Structure 1
Amino acid sequence: MSAVCAPRTRRLLRLVAPRLTAAMLRNYSLDVSAAPLLRTQGYVDGRWVSAASVFPVLDPATGQEIARVSDCGPAEAKQAVDAAYKAFESWKRSTAKERSVLLRKWFDLMTLHKEDLAKLITFECGKPMKESLGEITYSASFLEWFSEEARRVYGDIVPSPVRDRKIFLLKQPVGVASIITPWNFPSAMITRKVGAALAAGCTVVVKPAEDTPLSALALAELAEQAGIPAGVFNVVPCSREKTPAVGQVLCTDPLVGKISFTGSTATGKVLLKMAADTVKKVSMELGGHAPFIVFDSADVDRAVAGAMASKFRNSGQTCVCSNRFLVQSGIYERFVDKLGQAMDAELRLGHGSDPQTTQGPLINSRAADKVLQQVSDAVSRGATVLRGGKRLHGSFVEPTLLVDVSTDMLCTREETFGPLVPVIRFETEQEALAVANSANVGLAGYFFSQDVSQIWRVAEDLEVGMVGVNEGIVSSAEAPFGGVKESGLGREGSKYGIDEYLEVKYMCLGNLNP
Structure 2
Amino acid sequence: MTDIKEILDRLGIKPVNNGISTGQINWAGKGAVIESFSPVDGQKIAEVAAAERSDYEQIIEKSTAAFKVWKLIPAPKRGEIVRQMGDELRKFKSELGTLVSYEMGKSLQEGLGEVQEMIDICDFAVGLSRQLYGLSMHSERPQHRMYEQWHPIGVVGIISAFNFPVAVWSWNAMLAWVCGDVCVWKPSEKTPLTALACQHIIETVLKNNEVPEGVSCILTGGRECGEWLANDPKIALVSATGSTPMGRSVGEAVARRLGRSLLELGGNNAIIVTPSADLNVAVPGIVFGAVGTAGQRCTSTRRIIVQEDIYEEVKKRLVKAYAQLCIGNPLETHNHVGPLIDKSAVKQYQETVRKVKEAGGTFIVMPEILSGEGYESGCYVAPCVAEVANSYAIVQHETFAPILYLIKYRDLDEAIEIQNDVPQGLSSAIFTLNMRESEQFLSQSGSDCGIANVNIGTSGAEIGGAFGGEKETGGGRESGSDAWKAYMRRQTNTINYGTALPLAQGIKFEIG
Tell me if both proteins adopt one fold, taking TM over 0.5 as the criterion. Answer: yes
In 2, Cα distance between equivalents of 1:47 and 1:55: 17
In 1, Cα distance between equivalents of 2:455 and 2:35: 42
1:12 equivalent in structure 2: none
**Is it true that 1:468 corresponds to 2:459 in the alignment?**
no
**What is the TM-score normalised by the length of structure 2?**
0.90
Structure-2 change in CA distance of 1:29 and 1:357 (3 Å): farther
In 2, Cα distance between equivalents of 1:45 and 1:150: 28
Greater Cα shift, 153-162 or 378-387 = 378-387
1:344 equivalent in structure 2: 323
Contact 1:142 1:195 in 2 (8 A): yes
Structure-2 change in CA distance of 1:157 and 1:363 (3 Å): same
In 2, Cα distance between equivalents of 1:335 and 1:411: 23
SS at match of 2:335: coil
1:494 equivalent in structure 2: 480
SS at match of 2:306: strand
Contact 1:45 1:234 in 2 (8 A): no
Greater Cα shift, 122-131 or 40-49 = 40-49
Structure-2 change in CA distance of 1:33 and 1:367 (3 Å): closer
2:291 equivalent in structure 1: 312
TM superposition shift of 1:38: 5.1
TM superposition shift of 1:315: 0.7
2:351 equivalent in structure 1: 373
Structure-2 change in CA distance of 1:138 and 1:375 (3 Å): same
1:19 equivalent in structure 2: none
2:508 equivalent in structure 1: none
**Is it true that 1:427 corresponds to 2:410 in the alignment?**
yes
Structure-2 change in CA distance of 1:317 and 1:215 (3 Å): same
Paired letter, 2:5? D
2:505 equivalent in structure 1: none
SS at match of 1:467: strand
Contact 1:77 1:250 in 2 (8 A): no
Contact 1:88 1:175 in 2 (8 A): yes
1:503 equivalent in structure 2: 489
Contact 1:45 1:84 in 2 (8 A): no
Structure-2 change in CA distance of 1:47 and 1:441 (3 Å): closer
TM superposition shift of 1:33: 6.8
Paired letter, 2:390? T
Percent identical pairs in the alignment equals 27
TM superposition shift of 1:379: 2.4
Query: Per-residue displacement from partner, 1:5-32 (whole Å, max 9, x unpaired)?
Result: xxxxxxxxxxxxxxxxxxxxxx897335
SS at match of 2:103: helix
Structure-2 change in CA distance of 1:38 and 1:44 (3 Å): closer
Structure-2 change in CA distance of 1:299 and 1:194 (3 Å): same
SS at match of 1:231: helix
**Is it true that 1:236 corresponds to 2:214 in the alignment?**
no
Paired letter, 1:471? I
SS at match of 2:478: coil
In 2, Cα distance between equivalents of 1:154 and 1:343: 48
Query: Per-residue displacement from partner, 1:45-69 (whole Å, max 9, x unpaired)?
Result: 9545551442210011222210001
Structure-2 change in CA distance of 1:33 and 1:109 (3 Å): closer
SS at match of 1:161: coil
In 2, Cα distance between equivalents of 1:29 and 1:67: 14
SS at match of 1:508: strand
Contact 1:258 1:280 in 2 (8 A): yes
Contact 1:126 1:362 in 2 (8 A): yes
**What is the TM-score normalised by the length of structure 1?**
0.90
Structure-2 change in CA distance of 1:300 and 1:51 (3 Å): same
In 2, Cα distance between equivalents of 1:201 and 1:74: 26
Query: Per-residue displacement from partner, 1:385-420 (whole Å, max 9, x unpaired)?
Result: 2223111131211011223x1123344211121111
Contact 1:199 1:498 in 2 (8 A): no
Paired letter, 2:487? Y
Alignment length (residue pairs): 482
Map 1:343-362 to 2 at 5 A. 343-345=322-324, 347-362=325-340
CA RMSD of aligned residues (A): 2.0
SS at match of 1:170: strand
Structure-2 change in CA distance of 1:264 and 1:286 (3 Å): same
Map 1:218-297 to 2 at 5 A. 218-227=197-206, 229=211, 230-238=213-221, 240=222, 243-244=223-224, 246-297=225-276
TM superposition shift of 1:511: 5.6
SS at match of 1:412: coil
2:170 equivalent in structure 1: 191
Structure-2 change in CA distance of 1:429 and 1:298 (3 Å): same
TM superposition shift of 1:367: 1.4
Q: Paired residue for 1:437, among 420, 429, 446?
A: 420
**Is it true that 1:396 corresponds to 2:380 in the alignment?**
yes
